[in-house]
Structure 1
Amino acid sequence: MRIYGLILAGGRATRMGGVDKGLQLFRGRPLALNAFERLKSQTDEILLSANRSEEVYRRLFPAGTKILPDLRPGFAGPLAGLEAAMASIPEGERTCAWIVTVPCDCPFFPEDLVERLKEFRTPALAVAQGCPQPSFLWVPASFLPLVSAYLDSGQHRLGAWARQAGCREVDFPDLSSFQNCNSFEELSQAESNISFPRE
């Protein structure tokens, strides 16, 4: 089994005024780079889903890190980022490759995320205190046709796709470790490690 970590940083960040969220600083370091540091020890290789700022990301990340734009136009959402990541893995390798996804804007995600998600050796979705966390998926790269077909049908919601794909829910005890930063206010609160209500 080869494990790929996919950092999702390809969105519009509308609640931050359209900035590139992955480049916003969290305790002096870009959010996407913070995610990289938390994920690198849990995976064999890290991929970055990004639809802009490619040269900036190339300077930030280690040489050889794949910076992957969506294969579809118009910021089609995190599922499109997953599609691009799956497609980037050589076809012959997809049968033994798995991908764990994390959003760039969750600075405290668990450092045992992969260990817990892969425990049952089935596709999985993180759930914290009863709240699904659809951006934290564990899926085989061989699911590429399922992802593409779902997007081709005009649907794009990550959580709905995960349920359709039969992802098992894996419980995590601490909801605060999944708090995300959708606004500058939430980013400021996270920097101070202040909990805030999820939407």
Structure 2
Amino acid sequence: MSTIVIDQSVLRCVGVVLAGGQATRMQGKNKALQQYKGQPLYRYVFDAMQEVGLSLKMNVNSDQERFMEKGVDVFPDDKRFNSCGPLSGVATGLSLYKEKYTHVVFSPCDTPLVPSSVFALLVEKSKSRPQSAFYIETSSGAQPLHAVLPIAVLDQLITFLNGKQYRVMAFYKAIGAESIYWNDETLFKNINYLKELV
């Protein structure tokens, strides 16, 4: 793996909320917009990331105008990365913001219990070791979409996807991403079904 050199004094992070999936388990409804305890599901992660001072974007492939009406800056998957699963949004985010930022902090839209301290930890890890990628791990295993990646891994990700490889953890292994242990796995509960919104 080639060495990535990033000047710590110019570390610049942007937050990307991943909401580009097809939500097949939500009966085709846009998961991010479903109401959960009084507000849209995506809003919990959005607000938690905002609390640590991140500029925020959302990876959205449908109902974009509904997010824009709420003042959210959205982007769809780049056509180059269609049908790559979650890595579609990751690759698009890294590609879109490579001129302005050094790192992207990612989170899925469907984990409303994740606190801002998780994102603060990811940012702090990047400050201490800006050349590395980090993701959260709990006692139940990896939480790979709660992560921070240097923009500089984009070329490696494109090569990975061009090889018809789409598994997030396989990519992390390829770039030597490191896990950060979080001891409360209940905070990473995913909302995948309509019945869980009650």
Under TM normalisation by the shorter chain, which class is it?
0.7 to 0.9
Secondary structure of the corresponding residue to residue 145 of structure 2: strand
1:104-152 per-residue CA deviation (whole Å, 9 max, x = no partner) reads 0000113211232232423111001251101111111121111211111
Matches within 5 A, 1:147-162: 147-162=157-172
Secondary structure of the corresponding residue to residue 39 of structure 1: helix
Count of residue pairs brought into register by the alignment: 182
2:96 counterpart residue number: 88
**Post-superposition shift, 1:75?**
4.4
2:29 counterpart residue number: 19
* Cα distance change on mapping 1:185 and 1:75 into 2, 3 Å: farther
Secondary structure of the corresponding residue to residue 22 of structure 2: coil
1:193 counterpart residue number: none
Q: How large is the RMSD of aligned CA atoms in angstroms?
A: 1.7
**Post-superposition shift, 1:33?**
2.1
Secondary structure of the corresponding residue to residue 101 of structure 1: strand
Secondary structure of the corresponding residue to residue 112 of structure 1: helix
**Post-superposition shift, 1:74?**
4.7
Does 1:68 find its partner at 2:87? no
**Post-superposition shift, 1:90?**
4.3
Matches within 5 A, 1:19-168: 19-62=29-72, 65=73, 67-72=74-79, 74-91=82-99, 93-94=100-101, 97-117=102-122, 118-119=124-125, 120-121=128-129, 122-168=132-178
Where structure 1 has 5 or more consecutive residues not aligned to the other structure, the ranges are 189-199
1-structure distance, mates of 2:173, 2:115: 22
Contact 1:3 1:43 in 2 (8 A): no
Selected match of 2:180 from 155, 170, 188 = 170
2-structure distance, mates of 1:43, 1:101: 14
**Post-superposition shift, 1:14?**
0.9
Contact 2:44 2:113 in 1 (8 A): no
TM (normalized to structure 2)? 0.85
